[in-house]
């Protein structure tokens, strides 16, 4: 579609851009400075409203640069929800530097814009730009606590690993361009399909693309940055990074691997069997994530490794080339969003009291603040993947894909073993909360907005554990890609 006609399908993004620009100006004017956060929240609701209004057809926008399809829209909803929560609670984290709260929120919106682009990109130029939009803003956000050496280190590691990964990915892109003569994903697929395989260059290009996307997913062996960045970054950002860019990376991966690197009939292009590669990497990712999580004493690092493990669970179904695997990933992302955000918000509430993220600070929380402890237990049960929570249903869907297509049974076995390992470290937190006593018996008093955010995260986790058919219907309707 031409550029001008595309604008009508691009209203949510344009509203978002408008909100970003107005918020920047508002923050500069002393009279309006204190309304910036409220304005951003209202703006996000407006973006959501326009997203809801948008039509559900699939079309190509901006002369093949971007897609407008239900698949992308599904992910955009996840990004809006995550951004809304993080903007809402960022102010109530005592670790944040409040003098730069507005810049934090504005950069978060720019990250969100990049995530929108990642979920809809259909051209190599767009893929690269989208990843860089997300990355560059995230580097800055990670280093925002300027007086905190950990935050400085986090952003240094993030920028160096990130720039390196995107450089490798670009080199892979250049080969794809040299092979196909185009930067358009569908044309690349058409050209790759005509190749008599197995073609060595395609294999190496896929590997290089995998570095760039795997970095965003914190897939092993591209995960080195994850624990340090998660620990050093401001916690609201950590919560965001563990959810939104991962979802966008998966969206990009589905578009890239199950659309571009397959021939549309369940076969890989050019006889390059990348499915085994991803299956092995997925098994390694979940195992490394879970094993390293076992010996963490810092809650943020623990959840960093837990999020690596979860990326592994979701990658598990990518080797099964079918729409079932995309559906399972998309379904899993919904509870994953809420349980991870919720767990991080509880961690913020605890650290506001103790001043650190050491696991020792959680001692006796069950007695001191029963409500918060109980909510945390629900998140942990869901993260482990036990009934009656949504995490369990999500895991069942992931496993059922492997069983239904009768592929990679060994991967399902690895995942089950991993879920058992995960039980140990999640329940270490439960043990600290309920079975150890603390000298500090003072109850926590989190800000009401923080408490209510946690409660609104727990509702979907519980409800979707019992009644999940609406989400499945939504996911099924969202499988249509351009």
Partner 1 sequence: MDNLTSYLVISGILFSLGIFGVMTRRNGVAILMGIELILNSASLNFVAFNRFGGMHRLDGHVFSIFIIVLAAAEAAVALAIIINLFKNLETVNVDQADSMKG
Partner 2 sequence: MSEVFFILIAAITIASAIWVVFSSNLIYSAVALLFTLFGVAGLYVFLYADFIAATQVVVYVGGILVLIIFGVMLTNKIADNRISHSSRPRFMAGVISFFIFVLVMTVIFTTTWHTGEEQIATATVNTIGEMILTTYLLPFEVASLVLLAALMGSALLSRKKHG
Q: Are 92 and 447 in contact (CB under 8 A)?
A: yes
Q: Does 133 bind partner 2 (CB under 8 A)?
A: yes
Burial class of residue 200 in the structure, from the number of CB atoms within 10 Å of its CB (0-12 exposed, 13-18 middle, 19+ buried) = exposed
**Residues ≥6 apart with Cβ < 8 Å to 185:** 122, 123, 124, 255, 256, 259, 260
Q: Does 26 bind partner 2 (CB under 8 A)?
A: no
Q: Does 298 bind partner 1 (CB under 8 A)?
A: yes
113 binds, among partner 2, partner 1, none (CB under 5 to 8 A by kind): partner 2
Q: Does 309 bind partner 1 (CB under 8 A)?
A: no
Q: Does 186 bind partner 1 (CB under 8 A)?
A: no
Q: Does 182 bind partner 1 (CB under 8 A)?
A: yes
Q: Which of 292, 328, 295 is nearest to 307 (CA)?
A: 292
One residue of 204, 291, 417, 479 binding partner 2 per CB under 8 A: 204
Tokens 């450089």, residue? 167
- Radius of gyration of the CA atoms of the chain, in A: 22
| Number of shown-chain residues binding partner 1 (CB under 8 A) | 46
One residue of 112, 144, 286, 414 binding partner 2 per CB under 8 A: 144
Q: Are 293 and 305 in contact (CB under 8 A)?
A: yes
Q: How far apart are CA 182 and CA 184, in angstroms?
A: 6
The 10 Å Cβ neighbour count of residue 318 is 23
Burial class of residue 276 in the structure, from the number of CB atoms within 10 Å of its CB (0-12 exposed, 13-18 middle, 19+ buried) = exposed
Chain-centre distance for alpha carbon 215: 12
Q: How far apart are CA 139 and CA 407, in angstroms?
A: 39
Q: Does 399 bind partner 1 (CB under 8 A)?
A: no
Q: Does 129 bind partner 2 (CB under 8 A)?
A: yes
Q: Does 260 bind partner 2 (CB under 8 A)?
A: no
Q: Does 146 bind partner 1 (CB under 8 A)?
A: yes
Cβ closest to partner 1, residue 248 vs residue 461: 248
Query: Please, which contacts does 164-169 make with residues 24 or more away whose CB atoms are closer than 8 Å?
Result: 165/211, 165/212, 165/214, 165/215, 165/222, 166/128, 166/131, 166/132, 166/135, 166/212, 166/215, 168/208, 168/211, 168/212, 169/128, 169/131, 169/208, 169/209, 169/211, 169/212, 169/213
User: What's the closest the beta carbon of residue 288 comes to partner 1, in angstroms?
Assistant: 13
309 binds, among partner 1, partner 2, none (CB under 5 to 8 A by kind): none
Q: Which residues between 228 and 247 bind partner 1 (CB under 8 A)?
A: 228, 231-232
User: What's the closest the beta carbon of residue 289 comes to partner 2, in angstroms?
Assistant: 25
User: What's the closest the beta carbon of residue 389 comes to partner 2, in angstroms?
Assistant: 37
User: What's the closest the beta carbon of residue 140 comes to partner 2, in angstroms?
Assistant: 3
Pairing of strands 66-68, 59-61: antiparallel
Q: Does 164 bind partner 2 (CB under 8 A)?
A: no
Q: Does 64 bind partner 2 (CB under 8 A)?
A: yes
One residue of 60, 105, 183, 285 binding partner 1 per CB under 8 A: 183
Cβ closest to partner 2, residue 147 vs residue 406: 147
Q: Please give the residue ranges that form the binding site for partner 1 (CB under 8 A).
A: 124-125, 128-129, 132, 135-136, 139-140, 143, 146-147, 149-150, 152-157, 159-160, 163-164, 167-168, 170-171, 173-175, 177-178, 181-183, 227-228, 231-232, 292, 295-298, 301
């Amino acid at each position: 579609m031409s550029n001008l006609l595309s604008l009508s399908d691009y209203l949510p993004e344009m509203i978002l851009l408008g909100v970003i620009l107005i918020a920047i100006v508002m923050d500069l004017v002393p009279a309006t400075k204190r309304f910036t956060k409220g304005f951003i929240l209202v703006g996000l609701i407006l973006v959501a409203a326009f997203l809801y209004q948008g039509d559900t057809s699939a079309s190509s926008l901006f002369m093949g640069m971007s897609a407008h399809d239900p698949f992308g829209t599904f992910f955009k909803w996840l990004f809006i929800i995550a951004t809304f929560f993080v903007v809402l609670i960022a102010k109530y984290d005592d670790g944040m530097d409040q003098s730069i709260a507005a810049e934090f929120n504005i950069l978060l919106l720019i990250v969100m814009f990049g995530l929108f682009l990642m979920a809809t990109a259909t051209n190599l130029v767009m893929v690269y730009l989208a990843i860089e939009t997300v990355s560059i803003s995230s580097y800055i956000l990670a280093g925002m606590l300027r007086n905190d050496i950990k935050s400085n280190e986090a952003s240094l590691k993030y920028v160096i690993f990130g720039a390196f990964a995107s450089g490798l990915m670009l080199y892979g892109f250049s080969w794809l361009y040299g092979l196909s003569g185009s930067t358009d994903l569908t044309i690349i697929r058409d050209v790759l399909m005509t190749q008599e395989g197995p073609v060595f260059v395609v294999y190496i290009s896929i590997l290089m693309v995998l570095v760039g996307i795997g970095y965003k997913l914190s897939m092993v062996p591209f995960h080195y940055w994850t624990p340090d960045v998660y620990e050093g970054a401001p916690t609201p950002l950590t919560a965001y990074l563990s959810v939104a860019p991962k979802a966008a990376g998966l969206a990009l991966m589905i578009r890239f691997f199950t659309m571009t690197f397959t021939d549309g009939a369940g076969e890989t292009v050019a006889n390059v069997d990348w499915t085994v590669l991803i299956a092995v990497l997925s098994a390694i990712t979940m195992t490394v994530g879970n094993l390293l999580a076992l010996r963490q004493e810092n809650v943020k690092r623990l959840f960093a490794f837990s999020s690596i493990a979860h990326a592994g669970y979701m990658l598990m179904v990518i080797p099964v080339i079918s729409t079932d695997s995309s559906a399972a990933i998309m379904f899993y992302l919904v509870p994953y969003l809420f349980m991870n955000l919720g767990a991080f918000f509880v961690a913020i509430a605890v650290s506001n009291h103790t001043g650190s993220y050491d696991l020792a600070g959680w001692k006796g929380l069950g007695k001191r603040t029963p409500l918060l402890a109980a909510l945390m237990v629900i998140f942990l049960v869901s993260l482990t993947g036990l009934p009656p929570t949504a995490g369990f249903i999500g895991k069942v869907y992931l496993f059922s894909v492997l069983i239904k297509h009768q592929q990679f049974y060994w991967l399902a076995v690895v995942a089950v073993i991993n879920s058992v390992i995960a039980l140990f470290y999640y329940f270490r937190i439960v043990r600290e909360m309920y079975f150890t006593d603390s000298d500090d018996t003072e109850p926590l008093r989190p800000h009401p907005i923080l408490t209510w955010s946690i409660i609104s995260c727990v509702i979907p986790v519980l409800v979707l554990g019992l009644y999940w058919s609406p989400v499945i219907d939504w996911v099924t309707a969202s499988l249509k890609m351009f």
